[in-house]
Amino acid sequence: MRVQKIFTKDLFRFTPTIVEPKQDLLKGEVYIGRTLFQRKLFFIDFSKTINPHICVFGMSGSGKSTFVKTLIHRYRKVRRVNAIIIDFAGEYVDFADMNLEIGKKDFLNILDLGGLTPRQRIEQIMRGFEIAFGISMKDAPLQYSLLMYFLEQAYIKKGFDLDKYEDKETPTLLDVYELIEEEIKKEEKKSKESGRLISLISLKAKLRAYASSASGVFARKSTIRLDEITKIGVLNFDLSKLPDEHSRILVGYTLLEYLLDRMRREGISENIKLFIVLDEAHKLAGESSPIIPLVKEGRKYGFAIIISTQDIIDVDKRIIANAGNVFVFKMQAPEQIKYLKDAISMSDFYERRLMMLKLGECIVKQNLRNEVSNIFVIKVDAEILKKVRIKLPYEKLKKIKTIAKMI
Ligand SMILES: Nc1ncnc2c1ncn2[C@@H]1O[C@H](COP(=O)(O)OP(=O)(O)OP(=O)(O)O)[C@@H](O)[C@H]1O
Ligand SMILES: [Mg+2]
């Protein structure tokens, strides 16, 4: 009797409480891989989850980007869905139908209006600067108000009415930079130590690397037409060529603001129309980012957001908790695991499992519409990922990349 008791206890300890999902929950539209224990096929189906958004986490080299590519590639075979990738590390260059090398061959003027009035656009740019450079009303009020003032002046100098959208040549950050330089000269004549002068110098220093000469990445006119970007199959914004993380955040932020506005203008859609992928762009998934409204309203408008990162801590917990689908590849950093555990209420068993996952294996947590949430382990089957390039007619390419007169 005693022996039997010990034996049962040990068995319980060593046999993990693996619950494989019910067979009908594995059925769906797009094949992803097999469950780890019973080798059942897992197909993803966004109509079963509360929304089509996907969070993909895991340490470097664990299989995140491969999974995202596999998913988009196979989904596009089933349905006509386009994808826009905001690629911080340059990992999708060979995968995309069209690749934009931002900061090298292609440029985006962050002062372009995209249908907004200068005042509305300035409001967005200020939020971008807050995330990218920490210039906020709270932490740097003088720099904040000076930057806002010079942005306004740059539009006014180009003949804009701040409250009217006009389709004409916009200023660039170079114009803003030059206005700041002029102001510094004036201020230096008045006083050598004023708080205003110190803030102006600090602002100038922040912009110098990007806008101090015509070759700066933010000193140029756009070579991309934003109104065409959702029409390409898989369009990659390769931001890895930009000089640093600040500039990547600023461009990524500008794109997200544009996509949010675009989504609302396009109207409601039953089906998924567009995937927006943020790869290693975790800084764009924080509290004051346009990603929050994109995630909240995306389902209604047919936009599915995919956030893939090794740095989960920058991703707002609300995004993780409310995502329809979370895929977690191998993780080891305790603080990251704790953060995830809190966000998706993961059991100790899966926490231990997480650290032992092999390449391409991941924990799947789905927030289902009509059933209790589902959690299980799969191995992503990336073997049949084959690149099928969609050739775009030259005319269409020309429309998206306006021939850069500047370069
Ligand atoms: N499911 C899989 N099956 C087989 N090989 C895989 C699988 N997933 C990833 N790999 C291989 O592992 C390598 C790393 O994968 P991947 O680039 O997707 O990782 P990652 O998590 O995006 O890494 P990083 O954080 O560095 O961007 C790639 O060479 C890829 O081919
Ligand atoms: Mg990756």
393 and 292 part of one domain = yes
13 within domain boundaries: no
Residue 84 falls inside a structural domain: yes
Here the CATH number for the domain that contains residue 322 is 3.40.50.300
- 63 in ligand 1 pocket by Cβ < 6 Å? yes
- What are the phi and psi torsion angles at 308 (to 5°)? -120, 120
- Give the pLDDT of residue 405: 31
Residue to substitute in 66, 277, 278, 357 for testing ligand 1 pocket (most ligand atoms within 8 angstroms of CB): 66
| pTM, to two decimals | 0.88
Could you tell me if 286 and 353 lie in one domain? yes
pLDDT, one tens digit for every residue, the chain (407 residues): 555 554 544 544 444 455 678 777 788 889 999 999 889 999 999 999 999 999 999 999 999 999 999 999 999 988 889 999 999 999 999 999 999 999 999 999 999 998 899 999 999 999 999 999 999 999 999 999 999 999 999 999 999 999 999 999 999 999 999 999 999 999 998 877 788 999 999 999 999 999 988 889 999 999 988 888 888 899 999 999 999 999 999 999 999 999 999 899 889 998 999 999 999 998 899 887 899 999 999 999 999 999 999 999 999 998 998 899 999 999 999 999 999 999 998 888 899 999 999 999 999 999 999 888 888 999 999 975 544 444 445 555 555 554 333 22
**Structural domain total, the chain:** 2
Ligand nearest to the CA of 64: 1
Domain membership of residue 81 as a residue range: 24-95+234-239+271-400
Contacts of 245 (CB under 8 A, 6+ apart): 283
Domain presence at residue 106: no
Rounded distance between C-alpha atoms, residue 244 and residue 265, angstroms:
32
Bridge partners for 101 per DSSP = 238
The whole-angstrom separation of Cα 131 and Cα 289 is 8
In single-letter form, the type of residue at position 257 comes to E
In this structure, which amino acid lies at residue 77?
K
* Alpha carbon distance 308, 317 (integer Å): 14
Say whether both 396 and 275 belong to one domain: yes
Which ligand does the CA of 277 lie closest to? 2
Q: Are 136 and 69 in the same domain?
A: no
In a domain, 112, yes or no: no
Say if 266 falls within a structural domain.
no
Give burial (CB, 10 Å; 0-12/13-18/19+) of 189. exposed
Q: What is the CATH number of the domain that holds 148?
A: 1.10.8
**Is 108 a member of any domain?**
no
216 within domain boundaries:
no
Q: Is the CB of 292 under 6 A from ligand 1?
A: no
User: Quick one: 333 exposed, middle or buried, by C-beta within 10 A (0-12, 13-18, 19+)?
Assistant: middle
Residue 18: inside a domain: no
